[in-house]
Structure 1
Amino acid sequence: MSDKGDTPAPAAAPRRRFFPRLTLFQWFIRFLPAIIFSFYTYSRQGPFQPPLCITFGLNCPQAPTNLEGVLERAEHYGQVISYYASLFTKHEDLGGSFAVLVDGKPVIDVYAGSKDLAKTQLYTNKTLQQVYSSGKVVEGIVIARLVEQGKLDYEKKIADYWPEFGQNGKEDVRLGDLLRYDAGVPLLNDDDENDALSWAHLADEESFSQRLARQPHLFGGKRTRAYHAQSRGWYLNEIVRRVDPQGRTIGQIVEQDLMKDYKDVEMYYSKLPNESDWEERLSEMHDYPTLRVLARLLLPRALQTNRYVGFPDLRPLHSIVMKMVMSKVRGGAESITSRVLVPKMAPFPHNFRTKEAHATESTSFSLKTNAHSLAKMMSMMANKGASIRPGEEPNLLSSETYAKVTAFHSTAVCEVTGESMPLSVGGWLKSRHFYGDGPLLGVEVQGWAGAGGSLVVWIEELGIGFAYVTNAFGPPESLLGDYRAKNLLDRVVYARKDELGLLPKKEAKNEASA
C-alpha cells in the first residue's frame, strides 16, 4: 500500500512573464518599425497639431491661419512675411507675434495663429507670451541704466553692494562677471532632501537671499564662463534691491519706469496686472513632441534626412540633449549641463510656466510680453540708446553709456553648453557669425534668445530692432534661437541690404528671378 504523503507534488508550471526579459538593444530592435513610422509621420507633417492629426490624420483643425498687423515697404519685406506665414501653414509654428523696426519705424508688426492646438482661441495683439531667457536682454538694459545713474559699476565687486555675498570663493566676483556668466554661480546646490529648493522658497525673501549668498563658487573662485540660465536674475535682483532708492526689483523698475516712459510697451516679470489675465491674455506654451525628439536621437542621421522617409532640411538636435539623456541613463553624479538646465525643482519646461513659478520674480526666465514691446526696446538699442520718438519719449540710454555697455568684452567656451560665447561688457551676445553663410554673415548681431525659439536682437549697422515670440516650443537644435527665428532674421537682413543697395548685384538679380 503506497503512502500518498510520499508522492512528490507535480512541479508548478513556470509563470509566463507578460513582458519578456530583453536587453535595451533588443527592445529597440522590436520597436524600430514603430519608431521609423512615427518619425516618418512626424517629419512629414508639422509638429504643432493635435497628436491624432499628426499620426492618423484625425481631428485636424480646419480653421485657417489668421495673420494680422502691419507690413510696410512690402516690395522688400513682403518675402519675410511670406516665410513667416508658411511656418503656420506647415504647422511649424502655432501662435505668436513678430516685429521688426528699421530706423525706429515699424516695417513688420504682426501676430498670427492660435493659442491652442485645436485652433479655437486666436492669438491677438493683446496676447502675452513667456519668452524665457529672451528676458535677459531687458534685464541687461535695466542694469545698464543703473550704471548710467551711477548706482552700479560693472567693475565693482558684488560684495561691495551685498556684503553677505562675499563668501565661499565669491569674494572677488564682480558685477560684470555675473552679467557675462563668469560669476561661478550657474546653479544652486540642492543636495539637502529635507530642504530642497522649491518655488515657495523664492517667496521668503530673506531666507532665499541667505541661500543665494552662501552658495559656493562652483569653480573655486576662478573666473569661468558657465551659463547662468535661471540664477543670474535671482542674483541681479538682490543687488538691484540694495542700490535702488526705493528698494525696487528689476521687474518693478521695468513696470514703473520703462512701461511709463514707453506707452505701448508691456513687460511683466512676475504677476500680471489682473488675475484673469493668466487665462485670458497669456498664451499657453506647447511643447515639441517627445516622440519626435526620441526618434531624432535614436535614428541614424542619414535616415532622418532621407528625401523619401525623412526631411532633407532637418537640422540635428543640439549635442547637449544627448549628453543630458545619457547622464540620466548612466546614473551617478549629474553633469553641470543637467544641473543648470534641468534643475530638480523644474525638470521639464512646463515647470517654469506655472502660476507658482511666476508668483515671484525670476527675471532670467519669467518675462511675459510681446514682440512689439521687445522690438521697440531693440530699436532704441540699434539707435545707440536714443529715443525713436524724440520729443515724445526719453532716451533709453545715453550714447556714452551705450558705447560702454555694448563694447566687446570677451569670448570663452561655456562649461554648460560647450559653445563659444562672445559677449559684450553688458552681457549680451555680440557676434558677426550668428547664423549661416547668407546675408547675416559678417553682420554684427547683439541680443539674446530664449528656450523654445524666441529671439530678441538688434543690428546697429543696419538700424534693425527684431523680436520673434512664439507659443510653439521648438526643437532643441540651438541655444540661441531656432531655425524659425534665424531664418526670419536672415530674410530681414537681406531685405534691409536690398533696400540700401548693399547686396552684390549677382545675388540681387538671382533673387529677383527666383
Structure 2
Amino acid sequence: MTIIIVLLCRYICAGPFLPLSCQLFSLNCPKASDTLHGFVEAEFTEIKNIFSKNIESGLEIGASVSIYYENKLVVDLMGGFADWDTGKPYDENTLQLTFSSVKVLTSFVVARLVEQGILDYDEKISTYWPEFAQGNKENVTLEHLMTHRAGVGWFDNHLTKVAELHDLDSFAKVLESQPHNFGGVPTMSYHACTRGYYLNEIVRRMDPKHRTIGQIVREEIMPQYNIEYYYYTSEDLYKSRVAQIYSYPVPRVLAKLILPGFMFTNPVHPLFFEMIAPGTKTHKTLVNSCPNQAQPKDWNKLEMVKPEGPSYNGITNSRSMAKLAAMMANHGKPIPGDKVEPILLKDETLEKFLERTHSTYDQSLLEEFTMSKGGIGFFRLPGLEDYEFLGWGGSGGSLLLWNEELKIGFAYCMNAFHTSLLGDERSLAMLKETVRTVLRLKNNHHFRG
C-alpha cells in the first residue's frame, strides 16, 4: 500500500502530461527535448531554456512559441510530439487547433468589412439579418456581439451538433429563433462558440460574394500575409499535419478540485466548477452550445474540425499567430520584408476597433473583462501588471497577444490541454521573460532589428 501511495504522489506531483508508465517506471521513453526545432536570437536565449524545461518537466507534449520584437521574428521554436503514440515530432510543419485564440483573427475579418463600409459596429444586427429580430433581440448591435453582450451566448433548448454546421441555411433558423438570454438587456456573458456562429451568418449575408469568414481568410488573409489559418480542414491536411490533443490528467483535475488552491501553481478557475454543473450559465455556454458537447479529447476526430467554427476552430501555428500580433504591435501596418504586404487595418478602422468599452463582469466566465469595440481583450497579466497586452487566448492554453508600446507580438500554441483561463505557467513564463529581455535591450540600446 505504501508503494502505491508513493507512486500516486509521484504521478500527481510530477509533470502532468508524460504518459503514466514513463513517469512511474522510468521506461525508455523518447526525450521530448531532443525534438526541438526552430531558432532564437541570441538576446532571447532564455526563452529557449524555458520552452525546453516545459517539455522536460512534462508540462508539454508538443508546442510552439513565436515572438516578434520591433517587427523582427526573434523566437520561433517548436518541440515535443504532435503524436506521442507514433513519435511524430511537433515541428515546423505541425498545425494546431487553438480554440478561442481564433476569435482575434475573426475580429480582424469583421473589422476589415467595417473598413469597407459593409458592416458598422453601431448598426443593429437585424438590419443585416431581419429574422434575427426575434425574442427581444431587435436592439442588439454588432458591437454587442463583438463584446459578448448580445445575449446569445447559449441556446436554451438546443444542443449543438457538429453535423448542423454543414448546412448554414438551416442552422441560421436555430440562431435567429433563440431568445435573448437576458430579456433584451445588454449583459456581458461569454459567447464561446456562438459568437462565431452569428458572425458567420452576418458575414455571408453581407459579403458581396456571400463568403463565410473562413473562406475570406483562405482567399484574402492567408495569401496576402503568407500565413496559415484554417477555419475548416480537409482530411489530407488533418491527417498529415494536425497535432493530437491531450487532455489534462483526470487525477490532477480531481486533486485541483478537491485540494486547496494554494497547493498549485495554476489552481482550477471557479468557472470549471460551474462548467460541470448542468443548468448553469457556464455549462450552457461552454458545453451545451458547442459542437457535440465535446471534451478536449473528442477534438481528435476529423468530423469536429471539418466545418467552420469561427469562434473556436482555427487550425494554425504560432508563427502565423505571431505575425498577426506583430502587425497589431506595428499599429496595423505590415511587417517590413522582401514582399510588400497590405495594411492589416487602416488608422481610422484601428481606432474604432481598439475603442475601449467599460470593464464588465462576465456572467459565464466569472471574471471582469475589458473589451474593445472590435472584440479583443485588454489584459494586465499576473507578473506583467505594468504592461497591457491586447488579444485573446484559447481553451487549454493558446495565446495571441501584442503590446504596441514594447513592440512585442507573442503567440503560443500546444496540444497539452491545461485548465487555466488565460495562459498558464508555460506561456506566461516565456512572456514575462520576453518583457524582461525587451526592457533590458531598450535600456542598453543593444538590439538591432
Shorter chain as denominator, the TM-score bin is over 0.9
User: Which residue does the alignment assign to 2:319?
Assistant: 372
Does 1:47 pair with 2:7? Answer: no
Q: Distance in 2 between matches of 1:343 and 1:352?
A: 15
Cα distance in structure 2, aligned partners of 1:452 and 1:115 = 15
* Equivalent residues of 1:346, 1:352 under 8 A apart: no
Partner amino acid, structure 2, of 1:423: M
SS at match of 2:243: coil
- Indicate the structure (1 or 2) with the bigger Cα radius of gyration: 1
Asked if 1:290 is matched to 2:250, the reply is yes
| CA-to-aligned-CA distance 1:51-101 (integer Å, 9 cap, x gap) | 2223443463356532121212x13x1112211111011111111211001
| Correspondence for 1:471 among 412, 415, 431 | 415
Q: Does 2:221 align with 1:252?
A: no
1:116-195 correspondence to structure 2 within 5 Å = 116-118=83-85, 120-190=87-157
Give the Å deviation of 1:444.
Answer: 1.4
SS where residue 115 of structure 1 aligns? strand
Distance 1:91 1:170 in 2: 47
Which of these residues, 368, 374, 395, is aligned with residue 426 of structure 1?
Answer: 374
Q: What aligned pairs does 1:97-496 form with structure 2 within 5 A after superposition? A: 97-118=64-85, 120-190=87-157, 196-263=159-226, 265-272=227-234, 275-301=235-261, 305=263, 314-325=265-276, 327=277, 334-343=279-288, 345-389=292-336, 392-431=340-379, 433-436=380-383, 440-474=384-418, 476-477=419-420, 479-496=421-438
Q: State the Cα deviation string for residues 115-156 of structure 1 (Å, max 9, x = none).
A: 123471111111100000000010001111111111111000
Alignment correspondent of 1:20 = none
Following superposition, the deviation at residue 468 of structure 1 comes to: 0.4
Q: 1:63 to 1:454 in 2, by over 3 A?
A: closer
CA contact (8 A) 2:96 2:316 kept: yes
2-side partners of 1:323 and 1:257: how far apart? 39
* Counterparts of 1:204 and 1:154, CA distance in 2: 27
Q: Is the 8 A contact 2:230 2:314 kept in 1?
A: yes
- Give the partner amino acid of 1:147: V
Relative distance call for 1:176 and 1:284 in structure 2 (3 A) is: same
SS at match of 2:164: helix
Q: Which runs of 5+ in 2 are unaligned?
A: none
Q: Is the 8 A contact 2:228 2:316 kept in 1?
A: yes
C-alpha distance in structure 2 between counterparts of 1:384 and 1:411, whole Å:
23
1:322 alignment partner AA: F
Instruction: Give distance in 2, aligned partners of 1:37 and 1:319.
Output: 30
Contact 2:217 2:229 survives alignment (8 Å):
yes
Unaligned residue ranges in structure 1 (runs of 5+): 1-30, 306-312, 329-333, 504-514
Change (3 A) 1:286 1:171: same
Q: Deviations over 1:192-217 (max 9, x none)?
A: xxxx5311122122210111001010
Distance 1:482 1:490, change over 3 A: same
Letter in 1 for 2:375: G
Give the count of matched residue pairs. Answer: 442
Residue type at the aligned position of 1:299: L
Residue identity in the other structure for 1:42: Y
Task: Report sequence identity in percent.
Answer: 39
**1:7 alignment counterpart:** none
Distance 2:241 2:376 in 1: 29
Whether the 8 Å CA contact 2:12–2:251 is kept in 1: the answer is no
> After superposition, what is the alpha-carbon deviation per residue over 1:268-318, rounded to whole angstroms, capped at 9, x for unaligned?
00123xx3221110111111101111122223456xx3xxxxxxx633111
AA partner of residue 162 (structure 1): W
| Residues 245, 296 of structure 2: 8 Å contact kept | no
Q: 1:498 to 1:166 in 2, by over 3 A?
A: same
Equivalent-residue separation in structure 2 for 1:34 and 1:324 (angstroms):
35
Q: Is the 8 A contact 2:160 2:288 kept in 1?
A: no
1:426 is matched by which residue type in structure 2?
Answer: G
Counterpart residue identity of residue 438, structure 2: R
In the alignment, residue 229 of structure 2 is paired with which amino acid? M
Superposition TM-score, scaled by structure 1 size: 0.82
- Going from structure 1 to structure 2, the CA distance change for 1:337 and 1:203 (only over 3 Å counts) comes to same
Aligned to 1:17: none
Retained in 2: the 8 A contact 1:156–1:175?
Answer: yes
Q: 1:93 to 1:371 in 2, by over 3 A?
A: same
